[in-house]
């Protein structure tokens, strides 16, 4: 695909070859309220990053800025070598390369599971229908619910719906997956089935950015943990470092409340 | 703006099954009560309830008696209606052209039969128990009616009681309708049949067997048609102050053969539909049938109203070539534009086409070159399609389907443009060729056909991100909704002509349809907007996150959900429009109401006879409106709306 010269320049200047997401001094306001305050971070290819933080700290806002569901006002975000600007073509390109999984699943209730998964590959990626359906079935196999293809989302359990949502995102063959609290709306007995799928995805080498309160997942799967508060990145580190010897007072406070 | 405001629509995708396919828990069998137990439990459970039952029972009896006496009074001249049936349904449509009407009725009957056979055959119908109870109920009602009817006689202008030669009281109604004992007989037969059925069936289980409603309906229609062969329903000649059933002149006499044909067609169509279903005819046949329904109004309109001496030369040399040119040329352009690999070139071509379309209008404004109006409109259509094309690019089969759609749209558009421009030479006494109920149906159907897409477009425009669309749509909707319908109609009928460019004229019926379309579309738009607003924000975000474009999001995700939520108000709006067509009478169209209200009372033999006609009009409107609302209830149930 063609990437404009300006973007290439930015890429060269800002991002190394294997940088998937680069944020530099990102600021965002809702009215007078500053939700993101000077966020700078780099996420490498195949890296799994877990974002932690108290409620209202801006985790969702940040992750949603990365596929432009929210628009940042200052700073730069470069995703897979393409800078997020108002250029619609860049946004289209990024959205088809970044998969997103929501807390509330957000499946399309009027379409069957299969149609939910195949819709975007057919109409956005312009892939042949039959090929896409085969892909969809193999993805359903991968997330462990091959027998639910013809059902409607409303007929599935929460855990199954979330796995369909993951399959839907994967069907676009994204290079990056974003998860915004994927297990928070689930009953405890369903959390594991979703986390298992995510772990499998991480081992397969997908670049992932995950907002979650599942500390077990962070410890086990994350390459890096980012702790946010009040729209700022407070601390970054490996899980061992983060959970055993955090440097910042605020991090320690948060961990003592949550663990 | 996509916040979940509608509690019905909220949470759609979280818990509930979508297509209503979840099996409802088996309802426990209700213990069946004996008639006495039922009466005690439901009508006389407490002293207070007993008083209520008695008081309101008496009240409804009195109302029923009043209605019956009004309807069946000897003073009612139902001959005014029966003699004028043809006038009420088609006005002055020339008798020698009547075959066209029959072609239309026949087409609709065949389509309905096919649909019923293909789709509705699985319905369980009416249980034997219900059937026998209904028979008994109707029979009792007839008996009650005969009892409640006041004995009344025909009086002349001075209030003198009229007697015939033998000194018997003259009862004009009774004379025409056979005697009262016939009603007693009918009541007895009905009650008897119901009771017999009940007893024959013996135990509860057999009473629960079902009679398919389709068969029952066909049988009833068959009875009615058969009766036309023995009883002279309808048209009576008027001579020497008497109504005489004149053989060969009654409506029944002249229509019994066509009606019989219709009945046979109905049976054949239902049988064919069922055969097709049994043969496993799938989506293709259904799509074809729906298309036939959709196109039938356009074809039938032509059948009823268009000139038998059409200028076929012009049609062959100008109209058809133009249509083919646009269908094929447009298809070629769209084929190119839906190629996934076309990229930037596609945008250039689409923009170019928009430029050409716009330039045609500018040229028309300054009079640089002349061009048929429909060519200009075709260019506009093509430009719009080209602009949207890239959203629907994809594999071969997908693109071919799109081209088929384009060909169909062009065909319908050029067909409409052609028939609108060919004047009719069927001679009639009034400006409009047809009147009565037929015109009501024509206006209502075309209003529905045109206002639905217009309403959806207006709703989308009103919620669009582009301010110009928002402002235009909002102004249109608010202006139309702020003005009484009758004003809009008079505006369209009277004033619109003055605004039209030279050489363009519009028939009264077309002008009225336009007015109704505007009115109905404005209200439909608000209903659809309600549906749009009920869609959760998550749906928009999910569509964006998987990379759908705005147009794709609207077409594949938002509209299907929004329309589904708006079905009940949409149907309500359609029924309202159907009833509001009675306003046609005011702008000078001879519709059903005007026939009953002013035409029939002006006939010498029925001077001032209004009530009968008006009652009849009520009945006709009620039958259609009621069956539409019943049908919509079934549709809602099928779609699971309102059960969430
Ligand atoms: N659309 C919006 N308009 C105004 N304020 C908003 C909007 N979205 C988020 N905010 C505010 O921005 C702040 C950050 O919100 P965000 O949803 O990113 O927090 P979070 O870290 O994801 O919290 P949680 O763990 O509760 O999901 C909050 O104070 C929130 O009230
Ligand atoms: Mg959040």
Spatial separation of the C-alpha atoms in residues B179 and B7, rounded to whole Å: 58
Give the closest-approach CA distance of B346 to chain A in angstroms. Answer: 14
Can you tell me which atom of ligand 1 is nearest the CA of A53? Answer: 21
Q: Whose CA is nearest to atom 29 of ligand 1?
A: A56
B450-507 tens-digit pLDDT: 899 999 999 999 998 899 999 999 999 999 999 999 999 998 888 877 776 655 566 7
Task: Please state, rounded to an integer, the average pLDDT across all residues of chain A.
Answer: 89
pLDDT for residue B153: 58
Which of A135-144, B188-197, B362-371, B411-420 is the most confident on average? A135-144
Report the mean per-residue pLDDT for chain B.
Answer: 80
Given a contact cutoff of 8 angstroms between Cβ atoms, the answer to whether B533 and B2 are in contact is: yes
* Ligand 1 centre distance from Cα of residue B245 (Å): 83
> Most B CBs within 10 Å: which of A112, A154, A159, as the mutation test of the B interface?
A154
Nearest alpha carbon, ligand 1 atom 17: A60
Q: Do B13 and A107 touch (CB under 8 A)?
A: yes
- Rounded-to-integer distance, Cα A257 and Cα B543, Å: 36
What is the pLDDT at residue B306?
64
Average pLDDT over residues B168-173: 52
CA-proximal residue: ligand 1, atom 6 (nearest): A30
Inter-chain residue contact B549 with A92, CB threshold 8 Å: yes
CA B219 → CA B223, B229, B264, B362, B635, distances in Å? Answer: 6, 16, 11, 62, 25
Q: Which of A64-78, B135-149, B225-239, B282-296 is most confident?
A: A64-78
**What confidence category does residue B542 fall into, taking pLDDT thresholds of 50, 70 and 90?**
very high
Q: Does the distance separating the beta carbons of A152 and B17 come in below 8 Å?
A: yes
Please give the average per-residue pLDDT across B592-611, as a whole number. Answer: 84
Reply yes or no on whether the pLDDT at B27 is more than 50.
no
Contact with chain A for residue B427, Cβ under 8 A:
no
Angle, CA of B554, B555 and B561, to the nearest 5°: 75
- Say if residue B207's pLDDT is above 70: no
Least confident of A63-72, A164-173, B221-230: B221-230
**Closest-CA distance of chain A to residue B553, Å:** 10
| B284-293, B392-401, B512-521: range with highest mean pLDDT | B512-521
What integer pLDDT is reported at residue B502 of this predicted model? 58
Mean pLDDT, range B607-636, rounded to an integer: 86
The residue whose CA is least distant from atom 16 of ligand 1 is: A58
Q: What per-residue string of b and e applies to B442-471 under the rule 16 or more CB within 10 Å gives b?
A: bbbbbbbebbbebbbebbbbbbeeeeebee
Q: B115 pLDDT band (50/70/90 cuts)?
A: confident
Residue B556: how many CA atoms within 13 Å on its side-chain side?
A: 26
Phi and psi at A101, nearest 5°, equal -120, 130
Residues A1-15: what's their mean pLDDT? 47
Distance CA B44, CA B168 (A): 46
Q: pLDDT of B5-20, one tens digit each?
A: 434 333 333 333 444 4
Q: Residue B243 belongs to what H/E stretch?
A: strand B242-244
Mean pLDDT of B387-395: 88
Task: Output the residue whose Cα is nearest ligand 1's atom 8.
Answer: A61
Q: From the candidates B391, B399, B400, B547, which should be mutated to test the interface with A, based on the most A CB atoms within 10 A?
A: B547
Residues with CB under 5 A from ligand 2 (ion): A 60
Tell me if residue B244 falls in helix, strand or coil. strand
Query: What superfamily in CATH does domain B1-13+80-93+428-644 come from?
Result: MetI-like (1.10.3720.10)
- Regarding the beta carbon of A182 and ligand 1, being less than 6 Å apart is answered no
Instruction: Give the residue, by CA position, lying nearest to ligand 1 atom 25.
Output: A55
Residue contact B541–A126, C-beta within 8 A: no
Token readout for B261 is: 């044909």
Q: Give A182 or B566, the one with higher predicted confidence.
A: A182
Distance from CA of B531 to the nearest CA of A (A): 14
Tens of pLDDT along B49-99?
Answer: 888 888 998 888 888 877 877 777 666 777 788 778 878 888 777 777 788
Q: Please check the confidence at residue A15 and state whether its pLDDT lies above 80.
A: no
Closest Cα in chain A to B565: A110
Q: Which atom of ligand 1 is nearest to the CA of A64?
A: 18
Q: Is the pLDDT of residue A191 over 60?
A: yes
* Residue B169: strand, helix, or coil: strand
Least confident residue range of A111-115, A221-225, B213-217, B245-249? B245-249
Please give the torsion angle defined by the CA atoms of residues B336, B337, B343 and B349, in that order, rounded to the nearest 10 degrees.
100
| C-alpha to C-alpha distance for A166 and A172, rounded to whole angstroms | 11
Q: Give A234 Cα–ligand 2 centroid separation in angstroms.
A: 17
Chain B residues closer than 8 Å to A154 by CB: 12-13, 15-18
**A93: Cβ–Cβ under 8 A, 6 or more apart, which residues?**
A1, A82
Closest residue in A to B338 (Cα–Cα) = A126
| pLDDT > 90? residue B238 | no
Which positions in chain B touch A109 (Cβ < 8 Å)?
12-13, 18, 561
Give the nearest partner residue to B13 out of A119, A153, A172, using CB atoms: A153
Rounded CA-CA distance A78/A83 in Å is 4
Q: Which of A109, A126, A156 to mutate to test the interface with B (most CBs of B within 10 A)?
A: A109
Of the listed ranges A209-223, B133-147, B249-263, B304-318, the one predicted with least confidence: B304-318
- Using the Cβ of B8 and the Cβ atoms of chain A, whether some distance falls under 8 Å is answered with no
Q: Which of the pair, B120 or A106, is modelled with greater confidence?
A: A106
Residue B238 DSSP label:
E
Q: Is the model's pLDDT at B183 over the cut of 80? A: no
- Taking the centre of ligand 2 as the mean of its atom positions, its distance from the CA of residue A102, in whole angstroms, is 10
Q: Where are the alpha helices (DSSP H) in B170-282?
A: 172-177, 180-200, 204-207, 213-230, 251-278
B31 pLDDT exceeds 70?
no
Please indicate whether, in this complex, the C-beta atoms of B549 and A169 are within 8 angstroms of each other.
Answer: no
- Rounded-to-integer distance, Cα B522 and Cα B423, Å: 31
Name chain A contacts of B395, Cβ cutoff 8 Å.
122, 126-129
Q: What is the pLDDT of residues B241-295, one digit of tens each?
A: 554 544 445 566 677 888 999 999 999 999 998 888 888 777 788 888 888 888 8
Distance CA A102, CA A126 (A): 25
B242-244 vs B237-239, strand pairing mode: antiparallel
**A99 - beta bridge partners?**
A177
Q: How close A171 comes to chain B (CA, Å)? A: 9
Cβ–Cβ < 8 Å for B586, B491: no
B539: chain A residues, CB-CB within 8 Å: 106, 108
Greater pLDDT, A98 or B163: A98
In chain B, positions 502-521, which contact chain A (CB-CB < 8 Å)?
A: none
Residue B149 in this model has a pLDDT that exceeds 70: no
B23 Cβ under 8 Å from any chain A Cβ: no
R_g (Cα) of chain B, nearest Å: 29
Q: What's the pLDDT score for residue B19? A: 41
Q: Would you state the pLDDT for residue A100?
A: 95
Interchain contact B556–A (C-beta under 8 A): yes
Q: A236 alpha carbon to ligand 2 midpoint, in Å?
A: 19
Our answer on whether the CB atom of A30 is closer than 6 Å to any ligand 1 atom is yes
Q: Where are the domains of chain B?
A: 1-13+80-93+428-644, 310-411
Q: What is the pLDDT, as a whole number, of residue B488? A: 93
Chain mean position to CA B65: 33
In this prediction, residue B262 carries a pLDDT of 94
Confidence label for B174 from pLDDT (cuts 50, 70 and 90): very low
CA nearest ligand 1 atom 5, residue: A30
pLDDT surpasses 70 at B550: yes
Query: How far is B261 from B259, CA to CA, in rounded Å?
Result: 5
How does residue B21 score in pLDDT terms, banded at 50, 70 and 90? very low
Per residue in A48-89, pLDDT (tens digit) is 999 999 999 999 999 999 999 999 999 999 998 888 888 878
Closest ligand 1 atom to A70 CA: 1
- B393·A95 Cβ contact <8 A: no
Maximum Cα interatomic distance, chain B, rounded to a whole number of Å: 96
Q: Looking at CA atoms only, how far is residue A12 from chain B in angstroms?
A: 26
Measured between CA atoms, the residue of chain B closest to residue A63 is B545
pTM: 0.81
Task: Kindly report the three-state secondary structure assignment for every residue of chain A.
Answer: CCCCHHHHHHHHHHCCCCEEEEEEEEEEEECCEEEEEEEEEEEECCCEEEEECCCCCCHHHHHHHHCCCCCCCEEEEEECCEECCCCHHHHHHHHHHEEEECCCCCCCCCCCHHHHHHHHHHHCCCCCHHHHHHHHHHHHHHCCCHHHCCCCHHHCCHHHHHHHHHHHHHCCCCCEEEEECCCCCCCHHHHHHHHHHHHHHHHCCCEEEEECCCHHHHHHHCCEEEEEECCEEEEEECHHHHHHCCCCHHHHHHHHHHC
Q: Is A64 close to ligand 1, i.e. is its CB under 6 Å away? A: no
pLDDT at B331: 93
Q: Is the CB of A212 under 6 A from ligand 1?
A: no
């Amino acid at each position: 695909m063609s990437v404009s010269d300006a973007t290439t320049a930015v890429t060269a200047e800002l991002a190394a070859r294997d940088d998937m997401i680069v944020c530099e001094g990102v600021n965002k306001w809702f009215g007078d309220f500053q939700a993101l305050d000077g966020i700078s971070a780099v996420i490498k290819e195949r890296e799994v990053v877990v974002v932690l933080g108290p409620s209202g700290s801006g985790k969702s806002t940040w992750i949603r800025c990365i596929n432009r569901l929210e628009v940042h006002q200052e700073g730069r975000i470069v995703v897979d070598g393409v800078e997020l600007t108002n250029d619609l073509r860049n946004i289209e390109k990024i959205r088809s390369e970044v998969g997103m999984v929501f807390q509330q699943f957000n499946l399309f209730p009027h379409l069957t599971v299969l149609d939910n998964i195949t819709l975007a590959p057919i109409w956005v990626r312009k892939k042949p229908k039959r090929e896409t359906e085969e892909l969809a079935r193999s993805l359903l196999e991968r997330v462990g619910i091959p027998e639910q293809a013809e059902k409607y989302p409303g007929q599935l359990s929460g855990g199954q719906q979330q796995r369909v949502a993951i399959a839907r995102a994967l069907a676009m063959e994204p290079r990056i997956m974003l998860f915004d609290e994927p297990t928070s709306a689930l009953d405890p007995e369903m959390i594991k089935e979703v986390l298992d799928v995510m772990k499998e995805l991480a081992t397969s080498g997908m670049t992932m950015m995950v907002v979650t309160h599942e500390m077990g997942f962070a410890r086990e799967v994350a390459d890096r943990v980012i702790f946010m508060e009040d729209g700022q990145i407070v601390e970054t580190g490996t899980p061992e470092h983060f959970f055993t010897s955090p440097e910042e007072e605020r991090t320690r406070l948060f961990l003592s409340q949550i663990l | 703006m996509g916040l979940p405001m509608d509690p019905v629509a909220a949470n759609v995708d979280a818990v509930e099954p979508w297509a209503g396919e979840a099996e409802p828990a088996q309802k426990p069998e209700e213990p069946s009560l004996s008639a006495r137990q039922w009466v005690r439990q439901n009508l006389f459970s407490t002293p207070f309830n007993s008083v209520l039952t008695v008081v309101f029972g008496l009240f409804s009896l009195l109302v029923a008696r009043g209605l019956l006496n009004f309807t069946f009074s000897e003073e009612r001249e139902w001959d005014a209606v029966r003699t004028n049936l043809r006038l009420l349904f088609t006005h002055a449509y020339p008798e020698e052209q009547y075959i066209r009407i029959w072609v239309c009725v026949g087409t609709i009957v065949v389509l309905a039969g096919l649909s019923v056979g293909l789709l509705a055959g699985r319905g369980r119908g009416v249980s034997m128990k219900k059937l026998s109870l209904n028979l008994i109920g109707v029979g009792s009602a007839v008996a009650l009616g005969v009892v409640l009817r006041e004995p009344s006689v025909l009086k002349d202008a001075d209030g003198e009681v009229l007697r015939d030669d033998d000194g018997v009281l003259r009862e004009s109604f009774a004379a025409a309708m056979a005697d009262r004992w016939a009603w007693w007989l009918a009541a007895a037969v009905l009650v008897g049949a119901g009771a017999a059925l009940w007893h024959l069936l013996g135990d509860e289980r057999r009473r629960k067997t079902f009679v398919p409603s389709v068969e029952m309906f066909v049988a009833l229609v068959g009875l009615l048609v058969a009766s036309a062969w023995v009883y002279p329903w309808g048209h009576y000649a008027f001579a020497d102050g008497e109504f005489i059933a004149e053989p060969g002149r009654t409506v029944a006499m002249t229509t019994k053969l066509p009606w019989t044909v219709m009945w046979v067609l109905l049976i054949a169509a239902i049988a064919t539909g069922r055969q097709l279903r049994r043969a496993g005819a799938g989506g293709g046949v259904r799509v074809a049938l729906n298309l036939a329904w959709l196109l039938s109004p356009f074809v039938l309109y032509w059948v009823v109203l268009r000139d038998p001496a059409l200028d076929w030369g012009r049609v062959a040399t100008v109209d058809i070539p133009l249509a083919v040119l646009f269908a094929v040329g447009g298809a070629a352009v769209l084929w190119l534009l839906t190629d996934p690999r076309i990229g930037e070139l596609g945008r250039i071509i689409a923009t170019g086409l928009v430029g050409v379309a716009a330039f045609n209008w500018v040229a028309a404004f300054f009079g640089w070159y002349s061009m048929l109006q429909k060519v200009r409109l075709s260019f506009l259509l093509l430009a719009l399609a080209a602009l949207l094309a890239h959203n629907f690019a994809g594999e071969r089969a997908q693109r071919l389907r799109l081209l088929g759609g384009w060909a169909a749209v062009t065909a319908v558009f050029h067909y409409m443009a052609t028939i609108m421009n060919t004047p009719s030479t069927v001679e009639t006494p009034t400006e409009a060729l047809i009147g009565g109920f037929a015109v009501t149906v024509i206006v209502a159907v075309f209003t529905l056909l045109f206002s639905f897409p217009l309403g959806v477009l207006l709703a989308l425009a009103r919620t669009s991100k582009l301010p110009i669309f928002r402002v235009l749509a909002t102004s249109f909707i608010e202006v139309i909704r702020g003005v009484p319908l009758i004003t809009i109609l008079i505006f369209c009928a009277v004033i619109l002509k003055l605004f039209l460019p030279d050489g363009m004229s519009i028939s009264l019926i077309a002008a009225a349809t336009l007015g109704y379309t505007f009115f109905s579309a404005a209200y439909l738009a608000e209903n659809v907007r309600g549906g749009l607003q009920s869609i959760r924000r998550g749906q928009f975000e999910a569509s964006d996150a998987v990379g759908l474009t705005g147009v794709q999001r609207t077409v594949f995700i938002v509209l299907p959900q929004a329309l589904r939520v708006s079905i009940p108000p949409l149907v309500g709006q359609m029924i309202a429009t159907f009833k509001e067509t009675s306003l046609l009478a005011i702008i000078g169209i001879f519709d059903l109401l005007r026939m009953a209200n002013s035409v029939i009372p002006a006939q010498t033999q029925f001077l001032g006879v209004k009530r009968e006609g008006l009652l009849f009009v009520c009945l006709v409107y009620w039958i259609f409106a009621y069956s539409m609302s019943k049908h919509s209830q079934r549709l809602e149930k099928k779609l699971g709306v309102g059960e969430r």
